Amino acid sequence: MAPSERTPSEQLLSGQIPSERRRVVLGVAGGIAAYKAVEVLRELTESGHDVTVVPTPAALEFVGAATFAALSGHPVRATVWEDVHEVPHVRLGQQADLVLVVPATADLLARAAHGRADDLLTATLLTARCPVVYAPAMHTEMWEHPATVANVAALRSYGAVVISPADGRLTGADSGPGRLPEPAEIAAVARAVLARGGVPADLVGCRVVVTAGGTREDLDPVRFIGNRSSGRQGCALARAAVARGADVTLVAANLSVQAPAGVKVVTVRSARELGDAAIATSRGADAVVMAAAVADFRPRHYHPTKIKKGTTAEPDSVELVRNPDILATLAAAPAGERARVVVGFAAETDDVAKHGAAKLAAKGCDLLVVNEVGDGKGFEVLHNAATILSRSGPSVEIPHTSKDLLAHAIWDTVRQHL
């Protein structure tokens, strides 16, 4: 395959797309969440990126220019009338690898959606030919207003990534959708966008469902049967989908890592709860990726009180029954209810290729991601390796790499099937 024909993740895996220091413009709009932009700035600079902060004049009412300058190592300009000879309102956008706006207020979203250029930040947004990411923060009523909904839709139609805000405490006593996601997760989405080497978002308009984590099957109020899944790979898949512009629902089973920014989270505990949530949320979706480690079995009997040693309740053994086959159920759903692309995961400890091929045939899914687990592989680690098997095309080998890059490679394959 010629280098130009490779997917962005294949190019990065092969070293064709450089992963070194990138030029990021961090726009800061005038909202109370502006103070969190300082943490995003710190995350990006500590990741090795060259960050220039462009606040609006209103943002400087919340955080002083000296703070941004000290942490970025660059002078801070808020208007087009500073250093005019450098033509910053054009050069900043032209030279950036990413423009990230944190927070993006309702006013900033409106001005950006309508092509306004009445300050340095909006002028930069108009001249940018790189990926643009907005992290909105505002009161619930503002986020849900039809004007804001229309502005967000317009920006997404232009190819921008608009991270959906979190649901939580707002200014004062108010609470609801509109809270800025955690700065570390915003920075993680930014890094996921940068990892694609400037390629535009290619999942805009797609609705996807990802399951993550490990299910727990309760034996009594204290004990359960579980597994070692942390949820890292599923969260990496959800984060990569957000970075590519998708509307993402994450069905989260007992995560030991934080859920990504910009996703709708449905929290579950057991395999049956996960199955119900996956079936409900994936109905008519473009893709569902079953990355969660789902228990095959559960105890037949649940004890409502803790089982005590030396009592008549102490079991000689624990009888298990089989859980429903969620992946097969999703793949067999009738047209109109089935996701367009159904992706399964197979975690195997031996004969990986053999078991993977058999599972692909048995489950009826479109793609199956097969990876070896155990002894520092797969679970509870930051890296992974896998083979993506397809019912209608060649398999794709993904060498040992970060779970974030593996996630992009999986979405590349899903995108081809869409």
Partner residues linked to 51 by β-bridges: 24
Query: Is it the case that residue 33 has pLDDT exceeding 70?
Result: yes
Looking at residue 85, its pLDDT comes to 59
Q: How many Cβ atoms sit within 10 Å of the Cβ of residue 301?
A: 11
**Catalytic residue of the set 151, 227, 254, 323:** 227
Looking at residue 13, its pLDDT comes to 45
Mean pLDDT of the chain: 89
Looking at residue 196, its pLDDT comes to 84
The Cα–Cα gap between 303 and 311 comes to 13
Query: In sequence order, which residues have a C-beta less than 8 Å from that of residue 352 and are 6 or more positions away?
Result: 370, 371, 372, 387
Alpha helices in 22-130 (DSSP H): 34-46, 65-72, 88-95, 106-113, 120-127
- Give the HSE-up count for residue 242: Cα atoms under 13 Å, Cβ half-sphere: 34
Contacts of 108-111 spanning 24+ positions with Cβ under 8 A: 108/27, 108/29, 108/30, 108/56, 108/134, 109/134, 109/136, 109/148, 109/151, 109/152, 109/155, 109/162, 110/147, 110/148, 110/151
Looking at residue 113, its pLDDT comes to 98
Q: HEC states along 269-336?
A: CCHHHHHHHHHHHHCCCCEEEECCECCCEEECCCCCCCCCCCCCCCCCCCCEEECCCHHHHHHCCCCC
Query: Is it the case that residue 17 has pLDDT exceeding 70?
Result: no
Looking at residue 390, its pLDDT comes to 93
Partner residues linked to 53 by β-bridges: 26
**Candidate from 12-21, 87-96, 97-106, 255-264 with smallest mean pLDDT:** 12-21
Q: pLDDT of 343-376, one tens digit each?
A: 999 877 777 778 888 999 999 999 999 987 655 5
Element holding 9 (H helix, E strand): helix 8-14
**φ, ψ of residue 401 in degrees (nearest 5):** -155, -175
Looking at residue 347, its pLDDT comes to 78
Looking at residue 356, its pLDDT comes to 86
Query: Is it the case that residue 308 has pLDDT exceeding 50?
Result: yes
Contact assessment for residue 336 and residue 284, using Cβ atoms and an 8 Å cutoff: yes
Query: Is it the case that residue 72 has pLDDT exceeding 90?
Result: yes
Higher local confidence (pLDDT), 401 or 414: 414
Query: Is it the case that residue 171 has pLDDT exceeding 90?
Result: no
pLDDT (average), residues 70-92: 78
Confidence of residue 4 (pLDDT cuts 50, 70, 90): very low
pLDDT (average), residues 395-404: 87
Residue 227 annotated as catalytic? yes
With tokens 């660059």, the residue in question is 74
Looking at residue 256, its pLDDT comes to 93
Higher local confidence (pLDDT), 290 or 346: 290
Q: What percentage of the chain reaches a pLDDT higher than 90?
A: 71
Higher local confidence (pLDDT), 3 or 377: 377
Alpha helices in 29-105 (DSSP H): 34-46, 65-72, 88-95
**φ, ψ of residue 20 in degrees (nearest 5):** -80, -165
Highest mean pLDDT among 11-15, 82-86, 385-389 belongs to 385-389
Residue 338 DSSP symbol: S
Query: Is it the case that residue 200 has pLDDT exceeding 90?
Result: no
Query: Is it the case that residue 88 has pLDDT exceeding 70?
Result: no
The Cα–Cα gap between 93 and 123 comes to 8
pLDDT (average), residues 75-84: 77
Q: Which domains does the chain have, with CATH numbers?
A: 18-194 (3.40.50.1950), 207-304+323-417 (3.40.50.10300)
pLDDT (average), residues 281-292: 96
Confidence of residue 177 (pLDDT cuts 50, 70, 90): very high
Looking at residue 20, its pLDDT comes to 62
Confidence of residue 165 (pLDDT cuts 50, 70, 90): very high
Query: Is it the case that residue 316 has pLDDT exceeding 50?
Result: yes
Looking at residue 94, its pLDDT comes to 85
Looking at residue 321, its pLDDT comes to 97
Looking at residue 40, its pLDDT comes to 98
Higher local confidence (pLDDT), 2 or 242: 242
SS3 state at 171: coil
Confidence of residue 184 (pLDDT cuts 50, 70, 90): very high
**φ, ψ of residue 371 in degrees (nearest 5):** -140, 150
pLDDT (average), residues 260-278: 97
pLDDT (average), residues 138-160: 96
Query: Is it the case that residue 380 has pLDDT exceeding 70?
Result: no
pLDDT (average), residues 165-175: 86
Q: State the Cα angle at 177 between 174 and 183, rounded to 5°.
A: 100
Q: Which two tokens stand for residue 263?
A: 């996703």
